[in-house]
Amino acid sequence: PGLRVWISRADNPARKLKYTWELAEADGRIYGTDTGLPNRLVRKLLENRQLPWLTGYDEVVPEKRYGERSRVDFWLRRGRRETYLEVKNCHLLYPDGRAYFPDAVSDRASAHLRELAAVAGPRVRAHVLFVCQMPGVKEVRPSDAHDPTFAATAREVRRQGVTFSAIEVLHTPDHLTVTRRLPVSLRPYAVERVARWRKTARRPQSRSSGTAKEKEELRNLTTVV
C-alpha cells in the first residue's frame, strides 16, 4: 500500500483484467513488474544480436517444442549448432544485494532444468537466462530458502552441462535499458539469513517489533511481484 505504480491498458478482449501492472516505485527506485516482459525483451535482444554470449545464430524460434512434451522459451540454431534457452524472471532482491530465484516452490522450474540437462551435449547448448528488472543486484542465486529442490537441481544440471547467465534491466516511466550482464552463483551458502529475511517479509510488522538490525534489513528489503 502507498506505492507509486504505472499501469498500461490491455486491448486483448480475451483478458479478464484490462490493465497490466508495468512498474512500481519504492524508496526512489523503479522496478519492473510485468512478468511477460522478459520473454518479449529477450526475443528482441536475440534477434538484434545484443547478447554477446548468445549470438552467432541464424535462426531464433520462440516456444520451440521438443521431445515428447517439452517446450523451451527459445531455440537457436546455426548450422548443426543448437542452443535451448530458458528465460526466468527474477524479481526477489534481499538486503545482501543478491537476487534469488524462485520466490516460491516451483516444480515447473525444476522440470525445465532437468529437460535442459537431457538435451545438453557437444553440439547442443542448454542455457538459463535470468532477467532482473530492478536496480542494485550484484549477483543472482538459486533460493535454497524458497525452493531447495530447484536450488539442488540447478547445481546438479550445471555439472551436466547446463549454463547460466543474468542481465540487469533498469526502467524509467518512458523506457527501459539493459545495462549489464550479472554474475550467477550456484555455490552453496548459509541459508539461515535468507530464511529470516523471507520470514520477516511475510510477517506483519509493528513499529516496535524486531531488533534495530532487523528493522534496518526490513527497510532495505525489496520484493517486486
Whole-angstrom Cα distance, residue 132 to residue 178?
10
Residue type, 34: D
Residue 188 DSSP one-character state = -
In the chain, pLDDT over 70 holds for what percent of residues? 89
Q: Higher-confidence residue: 218 or 54?
A: 54
How high is the mean pLDDT of the chain?
88
Q: Cell numbers 557437444 label which residue? A: 122
Domain harbouring 57, CATH code: 3.40.1350.60
At 97-110, the pLDDT tens digits run 999 999 999 999 99
pLDDT at 153 exceeding the cut of 90? yes
Q: Higher-confidence residue: 131 or 201?
A: 131
Q: Please give the tally of structural domains in the chain.
A: 1
Q: What is the dihedral of CA 92, 95, 99, 101, to 10 degrees?
A: -50
For the sheet containing 4-9, what is the strand order? 4-9, 19-26, 29-32
Residue type, 191: V
At 24-83, the pLDDT tens digits run 998 888 999 999 999 999 999 999 999 999 988 999 999 999 877 889 999 999 999 999
pLDDT at 203 exceeding the cut of 90? no
DSSP string, 16-83: SSSEEEEEEEETTEEEE--TTHHHHHHHHHHHTT--GGG---SEEEEEEEETTTEEEEEEEEETTEEE
Helix, strand and coil percent figures for the chain, each rounded to 5 = 25, 40, 35
Whole-angstrom Cα distance, residue 27 to residue 49?
34
Q: State which residues form the domain around 39.
A: 4-223
Whole-angstrom Cα distance, residue 196 to residue 154?
23
Partnered with residue 70 across adjacent β-strands are 66
